[in-house]
Structure 1
Amino acid sequence: MNQEEIKKILPHRDNMLLVEESEVVDEVTAKGRYTIKGDEFFLQGHFPGNPVVPGVILCEMMGQASCCLLADKVSDCTPYFTKMNNV
């Protein structure tokens, strides 16, 4: 699933659409891809000189990547990522 297909499921747009591609691995697993460019808002001031992607952003990326698992289950609604265990 490319970013345009992801936009049909998720309401996120620039600067908060944090997945460029997403794919289903099996019925409960997905993987996504995002290329860090270095100028992202979340890198500014987070470990200056040694930028690190904040954990909360990594969790958001993971949630967005899972959108392809929902693709055939959501229509006319907004999916929300509401819970994470053992993070």
Structure 2
Amino acid sequence: MDREEIKGILPHREPMLLVDEAYLNEDGSATGYYHVRGDEFFLQGHFPGNPIVPGVIQCEMMAQSACIMFADRMKNKGTTPVYTGLDKVRFRGMIKPGDTIRIDTKVLKQSHPMYMLHGELSVDGKRCMNGDFSFAILEEKERN
């Protein structure tokens, strides 16, 4: 699934769409990719002369990459995925311009509209971040 197909599921748009590709694996998990170009808004001040992808952006990439697992529930206009929690998040390596991030996510528990997942980000096979996260898929009437 490329960026345009991802836009058919997620409500995110540039500059907050942070997944270039996403794939549903045979075991039901998902794998996403994002190539850090170097001109992203979040690198402009983090840090001048030594740009590093902020941890909070890595967490957002992790959640967005899981979108393909929930495509059937999120294709309806008016649905919004919202973070409900982060747990056991650890940052283990810096992500810099030129890196291609691999994002692996899997469902730990689910009871629609709530989901608990585990995710890992890696670059060139080296784990850079991992953690558990939860989110809810809200319908328009539930957001108001």
Q: Deviations over 1:7-31 (max 9, x none)?
A: 111111110001110112222x211
1:59 aligns with 2:59: yes
Q: Distance in 1 between matches of 2:18 and 2:72?
A: 21
Report the structure number with the largest CA radius of gyration. 2
Mapped contact 1:11–1:78 kept (Cα < 8 A): yes
Stretches of structure 2 that go unaligned for 5 or more consecutive residues are 90-144
Which shows bigger deviation, 2-11 or 71-80? 71-80
Distance 2:24 2:86 in 1: 19
| Structure in which a larger fraction of residues adopt strand | 2
Which residue pairs with 1:71 in the alignment? 71
Q: How does the TM-score come out when normalised to structure 2?
A: 0.56
- The count of residues paired between Structure 1 and Structure 2 equals 86
The residue that corresponds to 2:84 in the other structure is 82
TM-fit CA distance, 1:52: 0.3
Aligned 1:1-87 pairs, distance under 5 A? 1-25=1-25, 26-27=27-28, 29-74=29-74, 75-76=76-77, 77-87=79-89
Where structure 1 has 5 or more consecutive residues not aligned to the other structure, the ranges are: none
Q: Report the Cα offset of residue 5 of structure 1.
A: 1.2
- Superposition RMSD in Å: 1.3
3-state SS in 2 of match to 1:71: helix
Query: Greater relative contact order (Cα 8 A, min sep 6): structure 1 or 2?
Result: 1
CA shift digits 1:50-80 (9 cap, x unpaired): 1100000001011000000101233342222
Give 1:81 deviation, angstroms. 2.9
Instruction: Tell me the TM-score normalized by structure 1.
Output: 0.88
Bigger share in helix = 1
Distance 2:6 2:17 in 1: 9
- Percent identity over the alignment is 58
CA distance in 2, matches of 1:79, 1:42: 21
CA distance in 2, matches of 1:16, 1:22: 16
